[in-house]
Structure 1
Amino acid sequence: MIDLTKDGDLWTVTLNRPDKANALTEAMLEKLVDIAQDASAARCLVLTGAGRVFSAGADLDAARAGLATSDLWERLSSAIADLPCLTISALNGSLAGGAFGMALACDLRICARHARFFYPVMKLGFLPQPSDPQRLRDLIGPARTKMILMGGEKIDADTALAWGLVDRVVPQDQLRGTVDELSADTLSASPTHATAIKAMI
């Protein structure tokens, strides 16, 4: 349910559970954490999903069994945020709930035009993962963060772009090409050069 492909120094991780809207189980999160911890060997790490939804967040049965409050979410986003390589979320569709964390931790976010964004922690009675509100606030500001986390606001791709939540909106069939475009300079540079620039930023 988690696929990893390596094209030289470009690693692509695909959430591959499209029949369940790529909802994440404990085993899937553990696999993602392992990959993220190993990805310092990559020059660029891309996160994407199969089908027309990036991820609906936690699998509901697993969430009720305790996954919603697991530290795996925070371990995953921290591992991604700490990577020295370029990280890109290629959001093939909607992003919801706990799945926000991995996308917020990436350097760049691009999304398909039909994508929608929502994080219904207020309605579900869970707290967001600790770093998610801060990363979301840094991207879109405190008021808009409260609109999403406290007001239950659901936003479309164009609004996400206008707010700064994503960096580019493209048709779904252009996601791969956009990833290739955005990663080309980093992949062609020396690893130390790319790492140094990311550290400066």
Structure 2
Amino acid sequence: MIRAARDGDVLTLTLDRPEKANALTAGMLTALLGHVREADDLRLMILTGAGDAVFSAGADLGEMRAGLATSPLWEEVSGAIATMPCLTVAALNGTLAGGSFGMALACDIRLAVPHAAFFYPVAKLGFLPQPSDPARLARLVGPARAKLILAGGARLDASEALAFGLVDRIEPDPVAGARDLAPGSAEHVRAIKAMVP
């Protein structure tokens, strides 16, 4: 389930399946894509997960075996997030794993709790990453570290992710931290975002 809450020009989207580590189904990806595409006049979009342990474990295992791992939905979601004119923040309430990496990489800013872990085990599982993920990851952490994470299957803790540049700040409450960002008007935030390559 995707829970959407709008407060003025701030939209919070929550991956709400904590009993399954917020693992994503095709239905959840479709709903998320719809919320992102329908959002307008926003200053800030926050993407987070329910619970206090896992942002998302990636694809639901049952659906992954049925083809979700290679679905174009992943790329559609991350592409839609990447082109949002507002400031986008991944408020990582816990571990970020697998296919959910793409949506976090597509955000402008990533905030994470101190106990978060990060891993993208595509090589181990016999899949390739989403097409846009390697370039986005390399822009953040550099080519060698991107290969370490994707091909090497390295698992990072929050402090190492911060040192690598994968996350921008460690926050005890990343949703609250995200709400403190983008203090200007929606038009001002859009203009500044467009000025930054």
Sort the TM-score into its range (normalised by shorter chain).
Answer: over 0.9
Contact kept, 8 Å, 2:86 with 2:190, in 1: the verdict is yes
Q: Secondary structure at the match of 1:40?
A: coil
Equivalent position of 1:137 in the other structure: 138
Q: Deviations over 1:92-149 (max 9, x none)?
A: 0000010000000000000011100000000000110000000000000010011111
Q: Deviations over 1:161-184 (max 9, x none)?
A: 00000000122xx2232112123x
Equivalent position of 2:81 in the other structure: 80
TM-score (norm 1): 0.95
Equivalent position of 1:18 in the other structure: 18
Contact kept, 8 Å, 2:43 with 2:187, in 1: the verdict is no
Task: Supply the AA of the counterpart residue of 1:197.
Answer: I
Shift of 1:194: 1.7
Q: Secondary structure at the match of 2:3?
A: strand
Separation of aligned partners in 1, 2:136 and 2:16: 26
Equivalent position of 1:69 in the other structure: 70
Equivalent position of 2:178 in the other structure: 179
Q: Secondary structure at the match of 1:182?
A: coil
Separation of aligned partners in 2, 1:170 and 1:180: 12
Equivalent position of 1:200 in the other structure: 195
Q: Secondary structure at the match of 1:166?
A: coil
Equivalent position of 2:110 in the other structure: 109
Separation of aligned partners in 1, 2:187 and 2:16: 33
Q: Deviations over 1:54-98 (max 9, x none)?
A: 000000110110000000000000000001001000000000010
Equivalent position of 1:9 in the other structure: 9
Equivalent position of 1:27 in the other structure: 27
Q: Structure 2, unaligned stretches of length 5 or more?
A: none
Shift of 1:37: 0.7
Separation of aligned partners in 2, 1:192 and 1:179: 18
Separation of aligned partners in 1, 2:190 and 2:57: 32
Which has the larger share of helix?
1
Separation of aligned partners in 2, 1:168 and 1:37: 27
The answer on 1:151 being equivalent to 2:146 is: no
The answer on 1:42 being equivalent to 2:42 is: yes
Shift of 1:41: 3.1
TM-score (norm 2): 0.96
Task: Supply the AA of the counterpart residue of 2:147.
Answer: K
Q: Secondary structure at the match of 2:180?
A: helix
